[in-house]
Homo-oligomer: A and B are copies of this chain.
């Protein structure tokens, strides 16, 4: 996607075929640093320290981790137990990330299906590349399907600005291109539709203020950063036409797990008759879960992510302590929005209502 006129992705493989390049997203928006990763350990570190984040990108990063593991195998041949062990190590970098396990396993299967070491390395690289392009393509399709929703609002408003609210970063930084929640936004921008995006700052890690605002600004999309607390007021005052968020996991019944605070957005949208959409590739849909609130495990992260806020001070990226040093804090990473509050989900196959019956119509082969 465009950054200062140049095309950029959050991850790619260098021309030397030995180095994976990643944007260190911890330093955005204040510094755009590209890091070289040459080993599976480097990939694990990048995932664990959240240099890369976002479900699709974590998957792709894990796939490239498998490639680096294959490339750097010890001895003359890639042994099955070596590469299977590397796969487990990569998957455990972030155990709750469904896409990570899925992508790493997919590359492992390709490697194991090939006999010769040289071919195994090529197979790993090709499979990681395929996963990358599939993710980019899924996001493009999500954008094309979601575009229709924005166009309809624009028509209903006779061309006046369509105000879209989003939470966290479900943009191209979290994916490969287009993003999920942002894909319809970028498509609408490309079509010349008058849009404006309310960007929730998204505490505690401020991925909205840091990443979504940066992405949109670099692309030229009109946007305003707000605190997470403000969306209800904006909706009451008629200043929001639709909400689009991403998802970390969605049940086949339409319950949407996403960054903590998404449930508040959905409640406020519902209370003010504003459509609320979740955009995701179907790989995010968990076909075995029926009750998201009861069944989706919710990650708790380090309370210091709440206690310390990172930003720029005198040209340096610095963290400041906000609450009393001795006050306990709790850091819940996600929440679940029940399907009854979700107007629809936007997938690579189209838009449907957040119900088992409607999701089944789009993905008849997936439902149990």
Contacts and interface: CB of A to CB of B under 8 A. Distances in A.
Interface string A196-230: 00010111101001100110010000011111111
A162 B204 CA distance: 26
Interface string A177-212: 000000000000000000000010111101001100
Interface in A225-252: 225-234, 236
Contacts of A364: none
B225 A327 contact: yes
Interface in A294-309: 298, 306-309
The A contact surface, by secondary structure, is: mixed
A330 B224 contact: yes
A321 interface: yes
Interface stretch (A8-16, A99-107, A259-267, A274-282): A259-267
A319 B30 CA distance: 15
A245 to B, nearest CB: 12
Instruction: Report the contact-size class of chain A (Cβ under 8 Å from the partner).
Output: 35 or more
Contact of A260 (B233, B312, B336): B233
B306 A313 contact: no
Contact of A263 (B210, B214, B233): B233
A164 to B, nearest CB: 15
Contacts of A84: none
Contacts of A268: 263-264, 267
Contact of A203 (B229, B310, B325, B334): B229
Nearest to A337: B232
A227 B214 contact: no
A262 to B, nearest CB: 8
A328 B322 CA distance: 24
Given A236-B293, A311-B308, A335-B236, A229 B264 contact: yes
A332 B231 CA distance: 10
A29 interface: yes
A322 B321 CA distance: 14
Contacts of A75: none
Contact of A224 (B199, B230, B326, B328): B328
Contacts of A318: 313, 318, 320
A279 to B, nearest CB: 19
Contact of A336 (B214, B236, B313, B320): B236
Contact of A264 (B225, B232, B327): B232
Lowest 5 A-B CB distances belong to which pairs? A229-B261, A311-B320, A232-B263, A209-B323, A233-B335
